[in-house]
Amino acid sequence: MDASLTVQYAIIAVAVVVSAWVVVKKQFPGPVRKARVALALPLLRQGRADWVQRLGKWVAPPGFATTGKACGGCDGCG
């Protein structure tokens, strides 16, 4: 009985963490982006192991697309 209760609590904890992350991303996109940049920069430095740099690229936020004056902002140009 204890093992099943532990598994149940673990599943609930994962669901709470995921839902909190979604809310934070939706409500505070600027601070989340700054935090991701702050976490990724030390991982992306030269001389780090390849797996550390891959982790840094995964943590880093996507870059902003530069748009021209005639662009509607759909981000479909690459």
pLDDT tens for residues 18-69? 999 999 999 999 999 999 999 999 999 999 999 999 999 999 988 754 455 5
Give the CA distances from residue 12 to residues 15, 24, 26, in Å, rounded to whole numbers and listed in that order.
5, 18, 21
Q: Do the beta carbons of residue 14 and residue 5 sit within 8 Å?
A: no
For 6, half-sphere exposure in the C-beta direction (CA atoms, 13 angstrom radius) is 3
Report the alpha-carbon distance of residue 15 to residue 7 in Å, rounded: 12
The pTM score is: 0.62
User: What was the pLDDT predicted at 58?
Assistant: 92
For residue 9, pLDDT beyond 90: yes
